[in-house]
Structure 1
Amino acid sequence: MLRVENIDVKYGAIHALKGVSLEVKAGEIVTLIGANGAGKSTTLRTISGLLRPQNGNIFFMDKDITGMPAQHIVKQGISHVPEGRRVFANLTVMENLELGAYLEKDRKKIKESFERVFTRFPRLYERKNQLAGTLSGGEQQMLAIGRALMSKPKLLLLDEPSMGLAPILVQEIFEIINEINKAGTTILLVEQNAHMALSIAHKGYVLETGRIVLQGSAKELAESEDVKKAYLGG
């Protein structure tokens, strides 16, 4: 479904990604783990068109989307839930969700998307007229995911969904991610909590200073001594 081939990304003098290649097959949860500053968020931002690679190619559903503007990438079927949630604090829950469906002109389809999101996140329905800025951290994360689901993506890019959440909420968010995947959405997950990420993923990649240094099934990575020492506190 998604193929990233040898991408290089530079911010001025900083070489953030160095020949990164990865693959996500339809129906999978693939996780990207690594320390802060390893290039995980940069990888997602490049796939979703927010950054442009200097070299390399990105293919989605066999179509070359390298350097395509972000709004066109959403149209292809990729939605990005950014790090830090980035909800529109001064808009209501409903208004935030509506922005996620801005490409859809059919009101009936938008209504169906609302119903799907509210079935998945009943708490958002209870707070639909509340300003997003007044929600708890966990509710804002649900809203950010719900907003991305409004465009009915084939591939969901999730950047640090557990960041800043209490352990009980982390568990809940990961259960939701699992459910979204089981309902048919493919997921590329960037996550600091390597233990949780590997517990739900099919496959994983380890990024270190802009390079992929390890890859394999989630089970293999969870059992790898190097991964245990560096990311699992083993």
Structure 2
Amino acid sequence: MLELKNIDVFYDNIQALKEVNLTVGEGEMVTLIGANGAGKSTTLRAISGLNKPKKGEIKFKGRVISSLKASDIVRMGISHVPEGRRIFANMTVMENLEMGAYIRGDRGNLKRDYDEVFSLFPRLKERKNQIAGTLSGGEQQMLAIGRALMAKPKYLLLDEPSMGLAPLIVKEIFSILENINKLGTTILLVEQNANMALNVTDRAYIIKNGKIELEGRSKDLLKDEKVKKAYLE
């Protein structure tokens, strides 16, 4: 289980997260939704070790990880797909995937894992020798997810995977995320597309001004009048 307990995060003197409490159980697909600047990305960055909490603790499978380096957190089984994809634009698709597997010691299993990524994203296989910066936005998002999967994560953190993509591509990406979850990877999804996120996840948290304002089963929050008015209309 991934657990955040009373997490405070600051950027200089500005408090971005205020006593955030959140859990993601093994096998779940959970979403964190909210407006721009609400603290969604900061929450993911805190989990992955990029922003250290000033207060509180983050536990993964019973171990406190709040003070660990980001590279050590990846080795423990948490991969982060950042907002804006941030692929290596001047490298090929295959080279990007190889970078995702950089920390792994079991190099003998890489071919099997490339095949798994290509089964999820057939378009990446077709373009495996193509320079990543020449891919479409949707293909770049697929590559960013595929690169993260090459680290063989137990938990996958996704930051705004639908950003800037056409509706049909968004639908395809979310369908693939559901498949990844069914194959055994736990997912924490940050999304502004609240309707789509609530329709594919088990549970949801709503964050506002750095604080968790509401939590519950996704299907229940879809019917909540406050949620509808603020995020679904």
Shorter-normalised TM-score: what interval?
Answer: over 0.9
1:89–1:133 contact (8 Å) kept in structure 2: yes
Residue deviations 1:62-101 (CA, integer Å, cap 9, x gap)? 1110121000000100000000000010000000000000
1:157–1:189 contact (8 Å) kept in structure 2: yes
Q: CA–CA distance in 2 between the matches of 1:220 and 1:11?
A: 34
How far does residue 120 in structure 1 lie from its aligned partner after superposition? 1.0
1:104–1:110 contact (8 Å) kept in structure 2: no
Partner of 1:42: 42
How far does residue 107 in structure 1 lie from its aligned partner after superposition? 2.7
Residue deviations 1:184-205 (CA, integer Å, cap 9, x gap)? 0000000000000000010000
Amino acid at match of 2:219: K
Amino acid at match of 1:18: K
The answer to whether residue 210 in structure 2 is matched with residue 215 in structure 1 is no
Amino acid at match of 2:50: L
Residue deviations 1:140-165 (CA, integer Å, cap 9, x gap)? 00000000000110000000000000
Which is worse superposed, 215-224 or 135-144?
A: 215-224
* TM-score normalized by the length of structure 1: 0.98
The answer to whether residue 136 in structure 2 is matched with residue 147 in structure 1 is no
Partner of 2:189: 189
* TM-score normalized by the length of structure 2: 0.99
Once superposed, which parts of structure 1, at least 4 consecutive aligned residues long, lie more than 3 Å away? none
1:16–1:209 contact (8 Å) kept in structure 2: yes
Partner of 1:72: 72
Q: CA–CA distance in 2 between the matches of 1:124 and 1:108?
A: 21
Q: CA–CA distance in 2 between the matches of 1:67 and 1:224?
A: 37
Partner of 2:81: 81
How far does residue 207 in structure 1 lie from its aligned partner after superposition? 0.2
1:100–1:148 contact (8 Å) kept in structure 2: yes
Which is worse superposed, 50-59 or 106-115?
A: 106-115
Q: CA–CA distance in 1 between the matches of 2:14 and 2:91?
A: 36
Partner of 2:24: 24
SS in 1 for 2:38: coil
How many residue pairs align between the two structures?
233
How far does residue 112 in structure 1 lie from its aligned partner after superposition? 1.6
Q: CA–CA distance in 2 between the matches of 1:66 and 1:141?
A: 28
SS in 2 for 1:223: coil
Q: CA–CA distance in 1 between the matches of 2:14 and 2:55?
A: 15
Partner of 2:231: 231
RMSD over aligned CA atoms reads 0.6
Q: Percent identity?
A: 65
